[in-house]
Each structure stands twice: as C-alpha cells, then as structure tokens.
DNA sequence: AATACACTTGAATACGCATTCACGTGGGTC
DNA sequence: GACCCACGTGAATGCGTATTCAAGTGTATT
C-alpha cells in the first residue's frame, strides 16, 4: 500500500530542507542553490511528488484554468475551434474546462456562475447568449471573458468573430456577378448576430446591384430546418437559381436535398454558397464554395485577447472581426474574371461604451 | 469599485453567524436552523457570494472534476462522445477538463500527470495509448481511470469499447452473405486494439466461409491514407467487390474516392461497410451501411464505471464491450433474407489480472 | 425535579502550498 | 578591518473552506 498523498513537506523531510524550499524549487523564478535543487528534485522523483495545483491556486489566486461554454458540437466548426483553442491554451500553460449549455440565457448564466465558483481565470463563451445582468456581473467582478463566434449588440463587449457583414456582402456580390437573377437565402438563427450580420451584408450587396432576395427563410443553423427550407424554395413557381446559406452545416443539407431529393444540378441549375469553410466543405461530396472563418486565426485572437486581460490586465478591447475570404470551389458558378483571392478586409471595431 | 472577493466570512459577518454556519448552509446534508439558513442565503445573495470550489476541494480531497484526454476531434465520433460524456457528468455534478494529446505514450503520460496535479477525481483516456509505467502509477495512487473506445492487451484494465471483434465478424459475415467474392479491408491503425479486433473478427468470418481477404491495407484511421488505399485496391487487376472499412471517417473517404474519382457504382460494383455510425453516416451523400458504436450507451457505461470507482470505491471492473449492431443502409448490397435487426451481443469481459 | 438526549452553533484547526519576513553567510568595497 | 549588500534559507502566516470538538439550548424521560 503506497503513500496516500505526497506533500511538499514529505519531500522537504526526505531532502533535508524546509517546505518553502521545495516550493521554490517548483516555482520558476525563485532562486535556490543548485545542490538543494538537485536534492529536492531527487527526493520528489523518488516519492512521486506532484505539486497540488488546487492549493497553489488557492493562495496565488490564479488557477490557470479557462472555462469555455459551448452550445453544441454538431456544427463541425466547433470541434475544430475547440481543439485549436485547447492547444493554444495548453501552449500557454492553461487548461480548459468545457461545459455545454443550451442556448438559453438562464442556463448559460448558471453555467458561468459555476465556472466562477471554480475560480477560472477567464471564460470563453462560444456561440451562446448571456443575459445583460450576467455581463454586468462579470464586469463588476472583473472576470475576463471573450465571446467567440458570437457578437452582441453592445460592440464594446470583447468578442472575436469573422467579418460577417463583409462576408455576407461578398457572397451576395459574388452571386450577382455570376449572373444569378433569383437569389435566395437560407438564413442563420435570427437570434444570432452572426446570422443577422451575414444576412444584412448579403442584402446590401443585392440592393447595390438593384436586386432583392427572391426569398429569405430562417434555417436556425439546423440541418433539418435548412432541408425543409430548400424544399419550400423549390416548391415555388419561380425557384431560385442561387442560394446563400448561413453556414456550411446547413449548406450540406441544402446540397443534399437539391441533389438527392430534388434532382437539381449544382452549379448548373443552382449555385450554393456556404459560410465557415469547415474541413468537410473541401470533401469531394460537397466541394462547397464558401466563406472561410479561419478557426485558427480566430482562436489565436481569442487566446491573445483573453490572456491579455488576465496576464497584462488589458482593458476589454471590443469586437475583433477576422477577415473572411471567399473560397472558390465547385458548388457555385464562378463569374468571368473573378479574382482568385477576393477577400473581405479584417478590421477591429473599437468598442464605444454605449 | 466592487468588493474584490467575497468569502464565507464576509457572508457570516453580514448575516450575524459564524463562518462554519455559512459553510453548512452550502453543504447539503448539514443541519442548520431555518431562520439562519434564510439569513445566510439572503446575505449571500446580496453580496453575490459563491463558495470557492478550490478551497472546498482542498480539504475534502474531492474536486468533482474529471480529466479527459483526447487525441483529436477530426473523427466525428469523438465530438459526439465528448458532448454526451460532458452532459452525463454535468448531471452528476462533475466538470470536465479536456486535454488533447498526440497519441504518443510519452505525451499522454505527461498530460495525465498534469491532470493528477490538478487533483481530478478520475480520468478518461479516449483513444490514446498510455505506458505501462503510467498504468502502474495510476493504480498505486488509486486514481480511477477508464479507457474509452480503446482497449489494451491487458483486459483487466477498465475500458469501455464496442464489441469490436463481434462487429468485424458481423461485417465479414454480412458481406459474404451478400455474395461478394473479393472482399478487401481498409484497416484501422495497427497500434489500436480497436482496429486489430475489428480486423480479426472480419478475417474470422471470411475464414469460416472458406474465403480469405482480397487485401488488407492499413488506413491508420486517416482520410488521406484511406483514399490512397482505395486507389491502390483499384489499381489491381482484380479489384475488390466489397470493402470493409475500419471506421466511418475513413469510409467516407473511400466512398468519395470510389464515386468521384474512380467512377465506381456503390453498391452496384462495390459494397462498402463502415464502423461507428456517426451522424454523417445517415446523410444522403453517404448513406453508409455501418456498425453502430452507440456513443450514448458507451458514455453512460463509462460514467457509471468511473463514478462507481470514485464514489463507491468499486474495484476496476475490466473491459466492457457494448453491443454493436449493423445498421443497414444503401452502401452495401443486402443479402436476401438478412434479418433487419442483426446485432452482435454485448458482453462483459471480466478482467483476469495478468 | 433531575438526568439524558437530540440538536444547533461557534472556536479552533487542517487541507497543501506560496509568500512575507527576518536571519545568517559570504564576498566585495573603502 | 569595518561596513554594506546580495543571496539563500527557514519560521511563521495566509489563502477559503470543511470538519472536528465542546458548549449551549431545549425537550423528553424517569
């Protein structure tokens, strides 16, 4: 029966030093004489000692843990982002506590309180809504947080998104330039600013060309709803010749409904443009033209922003929008002379406290 | 500038009670008079008090945190499993700390030590290898752990998998019954027992029918390798008329290579059977016949097993294999009279300490 | 009326570590 | 040779909570 719990005091005793010296050996930046370092490390190795992170956190006030709240992983953009975020945080010495919450303000608020009780150093809210009272609470407690892939009306809230309006605009511009006359939109969830921004950009591009959307149907970021929307669009006497879909996850359902169920040629009869550029978009079955949300850059920006607040005490920096280039593939007709590298510019919107 | 940190002592002062009384109010099972409960709750609410989980864990020795080590989320089986595991643990009052580790024993060992330093109550190792020394270490420290979707040679290690051998056997049986004569296998990673078990079952079924596999090529659970394997199979003078693929993630690549690149009809010229039944397998683009690994049941079993060790002190229970039924879809010819509900039996293999 | 008992409560303490603080010790400077 | 200073070290203390333990209250029992 081996020792139940090895503490710094045990190591100290074995190495013939004091407990604080053991602590210093395991605290980068502390100065300890080389011989004691060696003795302590040797003793620690023999005993199998590991510093208790909880005790450490309790008196430093830093847990090196980041809480992340997610709505779901069904949309493959989130697994991609989650893994990258985790790896970035790991590289900076942080761990990630992952919690799923349905996208209800009430539930998210409870989850966030839970994370705060766990003394996380910061919180990432990925694609979930939070109540204003919670936002206030986080601010008062100066708990660092960043919204990931989810903006809110208040542009002063720290958030990292892609340039959704610009991306939607680019999608619209692209489809108009492709000579499409009846362009429909299967929109994202209307309670999501992401979805509304993409839609607004899309509509602006069409308006600028003197067009208006053939139809706009909410897809709620769900496959089944998007498939149903597609059926509805093609039950019309004047079906669309192009569809801009609010994200790739829905676009796959739209494509499948068009091809397997409605027998429409893509892009011959209908062009389809998505949003996200998840890995699957490049697979042969879909070959989807789409706007790329660069998960890697978004994760980098999120980590930088959050750790800036935590470690450097940076003030919350408002919303950061990452450039969202159009990736040309085979699901949409490519206009003559369309540049291969068209992209919407990235930009930082400084928050103006409402 | 609001209070920096509200402690139980602050609440106690405001409510006119002692700190232990506050503690008791927030500790289910402790008896406190109703009026004091009310006073304490009121004061806590006004101050915005949340018990510090770190301090609590420090002297209870229980963190209510589970560490989970994952190799990647690229195979969609893992996001599905991750979300279900998280929800199950949440329901039992536990949080999940997620860490990614390349599938190298060395790295996994380091990550696990890291989790132990964080005082997790238990660890789930999802599809990663660990060294024998680490296994020993975990046993000595009596740190509960369960291998998820990854068995090891030592059947006494607590693990939850599907019935991989039986599943592979069923796949082989099914393809033989379908009248296929040249059955190939794109195998999983050879260092994974999952992959080897599926292969062994498959080979046994063929052998029983007097056949032997046309070819077995390692796919390493990777899309690109699987696609290349498919090309190699069809570069032969005697290409296969059926392929059993080690998991769905690879099977999608095989299907796409067959259809988009090689122009082979599925299931007309080639039948394809996968393994996992991830959500995408049911999508029209793939419509993949496959063996279901029931993520939900596997997660339930894992949670039950791990929390049994943590809360009830159960002894590690050996490997548990969950039934893995064959899901009939359109990617493989269905033999005449094949039962619609064929399934491999689930079974518990008691560990015999080597 | 006296004792026993169930119940509630606060003072003290422990959990494992990091961090003051004060105390040497040695080498360098004039 | 006296002084100063940088450095290494251990004793003591605090982080915020849960858990002894003993004391106090009131009710039931004899």
Minimum distance, in Å, between the CA of residue B97 and any CA atom of chain A? 4
Residue nearest to nucleotide C9 (CA to C1'): B21
State whether B119 and A54 contact (CB < 8 Å). yes
Please check the confidence at residue B350 and state whether its pLDDT lies above 80: no
**Closest Cα partner for A157 from A181, A178, A136?**
A136
Element (H, E) at A272: strand A271-276
Q: What are phi and psi of A68, to 5 degrees?
A: -130, 130
Query: A199, exposed or middle or buried, with CB in 10 Å at 0-12, 13-18, 19+?
Result: buried
State whether A285 and B57 contact (CB < 8 Å). no
Nucleotide nearest to B21 in CA–C1' terms: C9
| pTM (2 d.p.) | 0.93
Please list the residues that pair with B66 across neighbouring strands: B96, B122
Please check the confidence at residue A343 and state whether its pLDDT lies above 60: no
Residues B343 and B134: their CA atoms lie apart, in Å, by: 36
Please check the confidence at residue A352 and state whether its pLDDT lies above 70: no
pLDDT of residue A29: 83
Quick: pLDDT tens for B260-269: 999 999 999 9
Residue of chain B whose Cα is closest to the Cα of A5: B141
Minimum distance, in Å, between the CA of residue B120 and any CA atom of chain A? 10
**Closest Cα partner for B108 from B122, B126, B95?**
B126
**Closest Cα partner for A145 from A195, A353, A56, A156?**
A156
Reported as a pLDDT band with limits 50, 70 and 90, residue B257 is very high
pLDDT of residue B134: 84
Quick: pLDDT tens for A275-316: 999 999 999 999 999 999 999 999 999 999 999 999 998 898
Cα A161 → chain centroid: 7
- Name chain A contacts of B118, Cβ cutoff 8 Å: 53-54, 95
Please check the confidence at residue B300 and state whether its pLDDT lies above 70: yes
Burial string for A23-59 (b: 16+ CB within 10 Å, else e) reads: bbbbeeeeebeeebbebbbebbeebebbbbbbbbbbe
Size of interface A-B (CB pairs under 8 A): 126
**Residue from A4, A26, A54, A76 whose CB has the most chain B CBs within 10 Å, to mutate:** A54
Please check the confidence at residue A346 and state whether its pLDDT lies above 60: no
Please check the confidence at residue B303 and state whether its pLDDT lies above 60: yes
Please check the confidence at residue B228 and state whether its pLDDT lies above 60: yes
pLDDT of residue B25: 94
Residues B87 and A282: their CA atoms lie apart, in Å, by: 31
Residues B172 and B154: their CA atoms lie apart, in Å, by: 26
Residues B161 and B131: their CA atoms lie apart, in Å, by: 19
Asked if B115 contacts B311 with a C-beta cutoff of 8 angstroms, the reply is no
The CA-CA-CA angle for residues A89, A157, A98, to 5°, reads 35
Asked if A275 contacts A288 with a C-beta cutoff of 8 angstroms, the reply is no
Please check the confidence at residue A44 and state whether its pLDDT lies above 90: yes
Residues A187 and A244: their CA atoms lie apart, in Å, by: 8
Quick: pLDDT tens for A110-146: 999 999 999 999 999 997 878 888 888 888 888 999 9
pLDDT of residue B305: 97
Quick: pLDDT tens for B152-164: 888 889 999 999 9
Name the DSSP class of A329. Answer: -
Q: In the 3-class helix/strand/coil scheme, how is A154-170 assigned residue by residue? A: CCCCCEEEECHHHHHHH
Q: And the tokens for A72?
A: 């779901």
- Name chain A contacts of B285, Cβ cutoff 8 Å: 252, 255-256, 260, 285-286
Residue found by looking up tokens 């740190």 in the block: B143
Whole-number distance in Å between A182 CA and D27 C1': 85
- Chain B residues 47-76 within 7 Å (CB) of strand D: 49-52, 55-56, 58-60
Bridging pattern class, strands A319-322 and B65-70: unpaired
Mean pLDDT score of chain B, rounded to an integer? 92
Neighbour count for residue B340 (Cβ, 10 Å): 7
- Name chain B contacts of A2, Cβ cutoff 8 Å: 140-141
Name the DSSP class of A281. Answer: G
Q: Which of A20-24, A311-315, B137-141, B337-341 has the lowest mean pLDDT?
A: B337-341
Q: In the 3-class helix/strand/coil scheme, how is chain B assigned residue by residue? A: CCCCCCCHHHHHHHHCCCHHHHHHHCCCCCCCCHHHHHHHHHHHHHHCCCCCHHHHHHHHCCCCEEEEEECCCCCCHHHHHHHHHHHHHHHCCCEEEEEECCCCHHHHHHHHHHHHHCCCCEEEEECCCCCHHHHHHHHHCCCCEEEECCCCCCCCCCEEEECHHHHHHHHHHHHHHCCCCCEEEEECCCCCHHHHHHHHHHHHHHHHCCCCCCEEEECCCCHHHHHHHHHHHHCCCCCCCEEEECCHHHHHHHHHHHHHHCCCCCCCCCEEEEEECCHHHHCCCCCCEEEECCHHHHHHHHHHHHHHHHHCCCCCCCEEEECCCEECCCCCCCCCCCCCCCCCCCEEECCCCC
Q: And the tokens for B90?
A: 């949440």
Mean pLDDT score of chain A, rounded to an integer? 92
Nucleic chain C contacts, Cβ below 7 Å: A 5, 7-9, 19-20, 22-24, 26-27, 49-52, 55-56, 58-60; B 16-21, 24, 31-33, 35-36, 55, 58-59
Residue found by looking up tokens 């510090």 in the block: B52
Residues B98 and A124: their CA atoms lie apart, in Å, by: 14
Bridging pattern class, strands B319-322 and B347-349: antiparallel
Region B79-85: what's the mean pLDDT?
97
Whole-number distance in Å between B12 CA and D15 C1': 18
Quick: pLDDT tens for A174-208: 999 999 999 999 999 998 999 999 999 999 999 99
Quick: pLDDT tens for B315-328: 988 899 999 999 99
Whole-number distance in Å between B35 CA and D29 C1': 29
pLDDT of residue B100: 95
Please check the confidence at residue B347 and state whether its pLDDT lies above 90: no
**Residue from A98, A140, A261 whose CB has the most chain B CBs within 10 Å, to mutate:** A98
Quick: pLDDT tens for A73-82: 999 999 999 9
Please check the confidence at residue B302 and state whether its pLDDT lies above 50: yes
Region B226-251: what's the mean pLDDT?
98
Please check the confidence at residue B348 and state whether its pLDDT lies above 70: no
**A17 CB below 7 A from strand D atoms:** yes
Helix (H, G, I), strand (E, B) or coil at A35: helix
**A15 CB below 7 A from strand D atoms:** no
Residue nearest to nucleotide C10 (CA to C1'): B18
């Amino acid at each position: 029966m081996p020792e139940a719990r090895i503490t710094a005091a045990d190591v100290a005793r074995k190495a013939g030093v004091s407990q604080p010296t053991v602590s210093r050996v395991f605290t980068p930046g502390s100065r300890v004489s080389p011989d004691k370092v060696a003795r302590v490390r040797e003793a620690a190795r023999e005993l199998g000692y590991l510093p208790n992170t909880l005790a450490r956190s309790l008196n430093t006030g830093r847990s090196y843990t980041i809480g992340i709240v997610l709505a779901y992983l069904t949309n493959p953009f989130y697994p991609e982002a989650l893994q990258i975020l985790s790896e970035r945080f790991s590289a900076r010495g942080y761990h990630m506590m992952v919690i799923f919450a349905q996208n209800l303000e009430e539930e998210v608020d409870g989850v966030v309180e839970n994370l705060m009780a766990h003394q996380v150093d910061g919180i990432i809210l990925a694609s979930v809504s939070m109540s204003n009272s919670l936002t206030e609470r986080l601010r008062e407690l100066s708990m660092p947080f960043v919204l990931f892939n989810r903006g809110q009306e208040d542009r002063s809230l720290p958030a990292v998104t892609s340039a959704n309006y610009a991306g939607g605009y680019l999608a619209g511009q692209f489809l108009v330039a492709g000579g499409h006359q009846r362009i429909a939109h299967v929109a994202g969830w209307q309670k999501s600013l992401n979805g509304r921004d993409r839609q607004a950009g899309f509509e602006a591009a069409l308006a600028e060309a003197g067009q208006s959307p053939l139809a706009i149907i909410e897809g709620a970021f769900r496959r089944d709803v998007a498939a149903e929307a597609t059926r509805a669009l093609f039950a019309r006497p004047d079906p669309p010749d192009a569809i801009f879909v609010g994200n790739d996850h829905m676009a796959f359902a739209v494509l499948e409904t068009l091809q397997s169920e409605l027998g429409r040629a893509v892009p011959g009869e209908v062009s389809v443009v998505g949003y996200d550029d998840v890995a699957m978009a490049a697979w042969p079955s879909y070959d989807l033209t789409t706007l790329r949300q660069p998960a890697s850059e978004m994760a980098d920006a999120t980590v930088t922003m959050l750790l800036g607040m935590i470690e450097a005490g940076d003030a919350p920096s408002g919303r950061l929008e990452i450039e969202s280039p159009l990736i040309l593939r085979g699901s949409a007709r490519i206009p003559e002379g369309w540049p291969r590298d068209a992209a919407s510019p990235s930009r930082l919107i400084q928050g103006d406290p409402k």
